[in-house]
Amino acid sequence: MNRFKREFLTGPYIVWIIGFIVLPILMIVYYGVTDSSNSFTLANIIAIAEPIHMKALLLSLKLALVCTVICLLLSYPLAMILNSMKFKHQNFIVFIFVLPMWMNFMLRILAWQLLLSNNGILNTVLETLHLPQFQFLNTPSAVVFGMVYDFLPFMILPLYNSMSKISADVIDAARDLGANQLQVFIKIIMPLTISGVLSGIIMVFVPALTSFVISNLLGGGKVLLIGNVIEQEFMQNMDWHMGSGLSIVLMIFVIASMAFMNSHNKDGEGTAVW
Amino acid sequence: MGKEFIHLSHISKSFDNDLILDDLDLVIKENEFMTLLGPSGCGKTTTLRILGGFETPDKGQVFFDGADITMLPPNERKLNTVFQKYALFTHMTIAENIAFGLKISKKSKAYIDDKIKYALKLVNLDGFENRTVDSLSGGQQQRIAIARAIVNEPKLLLLDEPLGALDLKLRQDMQYELIRLKEELGITFVYVTHDQEEALTMSDKIVVMNQGYIQQIGSPEDIYNEPINAFVADFIGESNIIDGIMIKDELVEILGVKIPCVDTGFHLNQPVDVVIRPEDVELVDPSAGFMEGDVVSIIFKGVHYEIEVHANGYDWLVHTTKMFPVGTHVGIHVIPFNIQIMNKPESNDEKAVEINE
């Protein structure tokens, strides 16, 4: 009886999973492997090999990779500084970094579009100072900039989390045993934060790989990512079959990268770390 | 046990305007087991961290074998520390933990393997090389922490309440292990604890500290039998500490009664602290004692009964092997030799002896 009751409580969650996760995926798979006459075909998936699609996928992988590396390089020292601060300030600074996450990300990207546009605030300021104007918008760099801006907190938080778990005694012990600052970093801090690094990489790389709004707004249609291609198939060409086929390919990349990271994460710490 | 090895010279240290150590001066001799004993916040851990190089004193110098090491970082000091919470490296095996210091100092692989074997044998954990830290109990982890420290052959081993997290039985076993280790290794130990029993069991010399000042330095026997002031008396074992007035040499008045003692050399009518150990109080016939009172409570403690006797407005703590039911009217007697007379704190330094509970 009790057992039945407990399982009953999971009911809404199961409905949620089926309705909003399993069914949509099944539908995408269905559309992906059929054509407009509803007969089976792999053409939609093989279509990734078309030059324009392949180019978009490679660009997506490249920009996502660059974004992840930049986030990691920015976040690691930042998390270390945060961690070394006195306790009463610590939480406040973390709060400041996480604050933008609570605002709609599209709004934030729109704001950057206004700031960076050729007649935007940045260039107006540069003009009044008689400095050369800055053509930044609508370049791949602008897209990476937007991605880094958006996804940075997702890298900082797991890193900071894993760093704050290292007790000061452990650092002292390493120093006591003869390690200098650099050796402490390489032999103690890095290995003990590896799970945070892996979590952070997944949490930045996956959304960066699949994003299309940032490239729409900051790339001005000139930076075509795989996300943009899929969006266009659905919204402009109304070709749900092609869109779904390409989505399946992208999903495979996402799952593969997560599986790769998880297999290297010995501590078994989940990706949702806060 | 001979020459001066460590000298902490006129050390002062404060954190956020809070004075932790005030002009502390301490000499540690070679091969000594010295214990810094005191309540939390007395500055004993700060003293140890200054020795280890984790804190820099605001004033004063640290001499190690004659050399000034005050500004030397911890990794360049020829000493090792055993931390309170073990501080093992959880991402390494036991062997890698023990080898950490040796690898840093670039010893050969054969030498390192030998040392790991030797150290594990020394702490009675042979065959634990490839175990993970998580699979060890608290006592085993602490022994690995000790092994990790001693393989580097330090001349000085610092131990920061290393047994604090262990249960009573394990703590007692480890105390004997530490004494054995110290004898086998022949190095200097500086041990920090707030546990007076631990200090009395293991030390060659005890330094009793309170509020940043050294109260007394001496052998365990000295500290227990001849406490220099009321704080030491109270901290090392239990005591009856009573306000008294010195009537003349060898006569003191407490709680309105004049009783003979053996102390001389105080001023006439000088206020003093009178310290009497509970095991030195004898319960006798009401007429035979110097004071009469009633038993208020009695607790069986195994070796003895702990009895509280209310007499002349003071609750006497008494340890005796005889049973006295609650309500018994008894006399209190103490032989003059067992009555310790101490000066009341006067100078600035001595203010720290006041007992804060």
CATH number, position A210: 1.10.3720.10
pLDDT, tens only, A126-172: 888 887 777 788 888 999 999 999 999 899 999 999 998 999 999 99
What is the maximum alpha-carbon separation in chain A?
Answer: 79
Please tell me whether residues B340 and B215 are part of one structural domain. Answer: no
In a domain, A129, yes or no: yes
Please tell me whether residues B66 and B91 are part of one structural domain. Answer: yes
In a domain, B235, yes or no: no
pLDDT, tens only, B287-327: 999 999 999 999 998 889 999 999 999 999 999 999 999 99
pTM for this structure? Answer: 0.78
Please tell me whether residues B219 and B248 are part of one structural domain. Answer: no
CA trace torsion B99, B103, B104, B107 (10° rounding): 120
Structure tokens at B268: 């006439």
Q: Which residues of chain A make contact with B85, given a CB cutoff of 8 A?
A: 167, 169
- SS3 of A269, please? coil
Interface pTM, i.e. ipTM? 0.80
A187 to chain B, closest Cα gap in Å = 9
Q: A177 vs B75: CB contact, 8 Å cut-off?
A: yes
- CB neighbour class for A150 (10 Å; exposed up to 12, middle 13-18, buried from 19): buried
Q: What is the pLDDT of residue B267?
A: 87
Please give the residue range of the domain that contains residue B345.
240-353
Residue pair B261/B338 in contact by the 8 Å Cβ criterion: no
Please tell me whether residues B179 and B245 are part of one structural domain. Answer: no
pLDDT at A46 over 80: yes
Total domains, chain B = 2
B54 contacts chain A (CB < 8 A): yes
Please give the residue range of the domain that contains residue A236.
51-240+247-264
Residues A198 and A205: their CA atoms lie apart, in Å, by 10
Total domains, chain A = 1
Q: Does residue B17 come out as left (phi exceeding 0), alpha (psi in the -120 to 50 range) or beta?
A: left
Q: What is the pLDDT of residue B352?
A: 52
Q: Which residues of chain B make contact with A183, given a CB cutoff of 8 A?
A: 104
CATH number at residue B126: 3.40.50.300
In a domain, A166, yes or no: yes
Please tell me whether residues B9 and B150 are part of one structural domain. Answer: yes
Better-scored residue on pLDDT, A84 or B241: B241
Instruction: Provide mean pLDDT across the span B245-263.
Output: 91
The band of B230, judged by pLDDT with boundaries at 50, 70 and 90, is confident
CATH number at residue B324: 2.40.50.140
pLDDT, tens only, B162-214: 988 788 888 888 888 889 888 888 899 999 999 988 999 999 999 999 988 99
B105 contacts chain A (CB < 8 A): yes
In a domain, B234, yes or no: no
Comparing B42-56, B144-158, B333-347, which segment has the lowest mean pLDDT? B333-347
Closest chain B residue to A171 measured between Cα atoms?
A: B87
Average pLDDT of chain B is 90
Please tell me whether residues B36 and B167 are part of one structural domain. Answer: yes
Please tell me whether residues B272 and B212 are part of one structural domain. Answer: no
Instruction: Provide mean pLDDT across the span B221-237.
Output: 89
pLDDT at A190 over 80: yes
Residues B147 and B125: their CA atoms lie apart, in Å, by 10
Residue pair B59/B5 in contact by the 8 Å Cβ criterion: no
The residue out of B225, B248, B280 marking a domain boundary is B225
The band of A82, judged by pLDDT with boundaries at 50, 70 and 90, is confident
